[in-house]
Amino acid sequence: MSDFTLVIGNRNYSSWSLRPWMLMRHLQLSFDEILIPLDQPDTRARIAQHSPAGRVPVLRHRDWVIWESIAIGEFLCELTGQGWPRERGARAMARVVSAEMHAGFGALRAQWPMNARATGRRTPMTPGLRADIERIDALWSDCRRRHGAQGPWLFGDYSLADAMYAPVALRFRTYGAVLSAAALAYLDTLLQDPPLLQWLRAAELETWSIAAGEAGLGPLAADVAQADAQRADRDEHLAQEQQQAADEGQHRDDEQGRDHGR
């Protein structure tokens, strides 16, 4: 029996459970796991056996009970001496972006619920959702540019900040977020992470379904997908026209250059 027990919810839907699970895998900590299916008649009673807050995740370590994913992460980083950047400024920034994820991005959470095994889902884009996506894009790109030279993660080595954004990567994968090149490269790093792939394989085997987590289905999703395709076609056509105009302009410049040379 391990010194650690992590209580989690469904892998397919519980984004908060994923965060400490990922961190513990990267810290190479051995732990027992208790999975409590969410949105079931006995869910609240079962969670109450482990957490006074009535929520997952919960970490039990010897006589300690820690709930709230960011508090669990801080505890594990302090216990192991790992999981945060070593340089003070980078460490402060890692805490900032972790806290922003913990407290913010309400539109993203509400409109794009985590559904780990789903792909190809589409929902209407709202101003709030777009603002959240753009903010995360800017955070990822800035962290990689300023602190990511020594490795593939936000601050080079894997940190709690990366664990905090792992569920966001799954949301972006499910609903098709449009991102900058720098953010896309980091998204690929997250999605190819072996512990995350292990989580996904387990999520695929789950049979529970939670209606609130099944966004982006039905006729509306088809309409949004069609609009996305039409917009992509328009963008491609516009890009071709712009390239053609640029080529014609270059051709005229070349002709003028030859004229001037005669």
In this structure, the answer to whether residues 133 and 181 fall within a common structural domain is yes
Q: What is the pLDDT at residue 233?
A: 60
Residues 131 and 202 in one domain: yes
Q: Does residue 95 sit in the same domain as residue 176?
A: yes
- pLDDT of the residue at 243: 75
Looking at the structure of the chain, the number of domains it has is 2
SS3 93: helix
pLDDT of residue 177: 98
Which domain, by its residues, includes 135? Answer: 88-213
Q: What b-and-e string marks burial along 193-221, b requiring 16 or more CB atoms within 10 Å of the CB?
A: bebbeebbeebeeeeeebeebebbeeeeb
Please tell me whether residues 96 and 198 are part of one structural domain.
yes
CATH code, domain carrying 62: 3.40.30.10
Pair 106, 13 in one domain:
no
In a domain, 63, yes or no: yes
Question: Residue 137's pLDDT is what?
Answer: 98
Cα–Cα distance measured from residue 88 to residue 93, given in angstroms and rounded to the nearest whole number: 9
> Quick one: 62 and 119 in the same domain?
no
Q: pTM higher than 0.85 for the full model? A: no
What pLDDT score does 5 carry? 98
Is 103 found in the same domain as 23? no
User: Pick from 57, 80, 103: which residue ends a domain?
Assistant: 80
Averaged pLDDT in 10-residue chunks for the chain of 262 residues: 93 98 98 97 96 94 95 98 97 98 97 97 97 98 97 98 98 98 98 98 96 85 51 63 70 52 40
* Domain end (from 28, 63, 80): 80
Query: Are both 73 and 154 inside the same structural domain?
Result: no
SS3 annotation, 146-201: HHCCCCCECEEECCHHHHHHHHHHHHHHHHCCCCCHHHHHHHHHHHCCHHHHHHHH
Query: Is residue 154 in some structural domain?
Result: yes
Beta bridge partner(s), residue 8: 35
- pLDDT of amino acid 22: 98
* Per-residue pLDDT at 172: 98
21, 27, 30, 31: CA torsion to nearest 10: -30
Q: What Cα–Cα distance (Å) separates residue 26 from each residue in 5, 114, 219, 223?
A: 16, 21, 41, 40
- Six-digit token pair at 33? 């796991």
Q: Is residue 34 part of a domain?
A: yes
